[in-house]
């Protein structure tokens, strides 16, 4: 694996392992905080900001041949099963004609998306959707319908989409480390916040029925 088109937390952690570097050493080489490196281990689906993507590109080019070989060896066995090994639950929470979004700390100044969280082996996608919505936005919801599953085109993980109904709570940014903001957005304005091509088609269909 010579080129990484889009670095994720999983790729960064693999490079760190190939270099046999501690979190502190790896953070120093990249010029990032140690907690940023730790977050990649905790959330492998995380896509680092653009400047960190460039730093990872540079570091990847600077590693020794042995480290590059180890990096490829770590990732290659996972390539066919990566999506199966890591599963993410994505919550599509609606309240009337509004849908709940969070603004991620990511590549773009304002990168909006739906509440989401990693599903541990043996875990329930619907349970994680409810739990992560509460953890990120302070909103209580319940799953009404499973909309489908796909390999996410950006992160390569297996994404399960859960259609949820609002129950209670005032939306607020309950996870300021990961997010910049949270808000109820009119469904009719959704594509102003998330480009149509990035939205799973069954999600659009379900929301358009409510708009």
Give me the CATH code for the 84-208 domain, please: 3.90.79.10
Q: How far apart are CA 39 and CA 49, in angstroms?
A: 13
Residue 207 · residue 184 · CB < 8 Å: no
Say whether pLDDT at 2 is over 90.
Answer: no
Residue 78 has pLDDT above 80, yes or no: no
| CB contact at 8 A, 107 and 53 | yes
Name the average pLDDT for the chain: 87
Measured between alpha carbons, how far is 179 from 102 in angstroms, rounded to an integer? 7
**Alpha-carbon distance values, 95 to 55, 168, 187, 209 (Å):** 41, 10, 10, 13
Per-residue pLDDT, averaged over 116-139, amounts to 92
Exposed/middle/buried for residue 7 (C-beta within 10 Å: 0-12, 13-18, 19+): buried
Is the pLDDT at 158 greater than 90? The verdict is: no
Q: Are 112 and 137 in contact (CB under 8 A)?
A: no
pLDDT surpasses 90 at 97: yes
Task: State the pLDDT confidence band at 1, using cuts at 50, 70 and 90.
Answer: very low
Q: What value does the mean pLDDT take over residues 39-46?
A: 84
Q: What percent of the chain has pLDDT over 70?
A: 91
Task: Show me where the domains of the chain are located.
Answer: 9-79, 84-208
Check residues 37 and 5 and name the one with the higher pLDDT.
37
Ordered DSSP codes for the chain: ----SS--HHHHHHHHHHHT--HHHHHHHHT--HHHHHHHHH-TT----HHHHHHHHHHHHHS-HHHHHHHHHHHHHHHTTHHHHSEEEEEEEEETTEEEEEEESSSSSSEEE--EEEEPTT--HHHHHHHHHHHHH--EEEEEEEEEEEE-TTT-SEEEEEEEEEEE-----S-TTTEEEEEEEEGGGHHHHS-GGGS-HHHHHHHHTT-
Give the position of tokens 């919550």: 91
**pLDDT score, position 83:** 44
The predicted model gives 141-145 an average pLDDT of 96
Residue 105 Rama label (left phi>0; alpha psi -120 to 50; beta): beta
- At 71 the pLDDT is 87
pLDDT tens for 178-195 read: 899 999 999 999 999 998
């Amino acid at each position: 694996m010579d080129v990484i088109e889009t670095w994720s937390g999983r790729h960064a952690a693999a490079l760190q392992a190939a270099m046999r570097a501690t979190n502190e050493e790896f953070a120093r080489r990249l010029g990032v905080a140690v907690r940023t490196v730790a977050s990649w281990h905790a959330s492998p689906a995380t896509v680092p900001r653009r400047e960190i993507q460039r730093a990872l590109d540079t570091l990847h080019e600077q590693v020794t041949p042995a480290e590059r070989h180890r990096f490829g060896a770590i990732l290659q066995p996972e390539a066919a099963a990566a999506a199966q090994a890591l599963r993410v639950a994505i919550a599509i929470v609606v309240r009337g004609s509004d849908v709940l979004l969070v603004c991620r700390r990511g590549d773009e100044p304002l990168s909006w998306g739906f509440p989401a969280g990693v599903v541990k082996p043996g875990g329930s996608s619907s349970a994680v959707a409810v739990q992560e919505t509460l953890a990120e936005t302070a909103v209580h919801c319940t799953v009404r319908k499973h909309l489908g599953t796909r390999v996410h085109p950006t992160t390569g993980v297996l994404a399960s989409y859960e259609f949820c109904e609002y129950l209670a709570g005032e939306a607020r940014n309950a996870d300021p480390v990961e997010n910049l903001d949270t808000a109820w957005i009119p469904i009719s304005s959704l594509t102003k916040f998330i480009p149509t091509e990035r939205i799973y088609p069954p999600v659009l269909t379900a929301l358009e029925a409510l708009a």
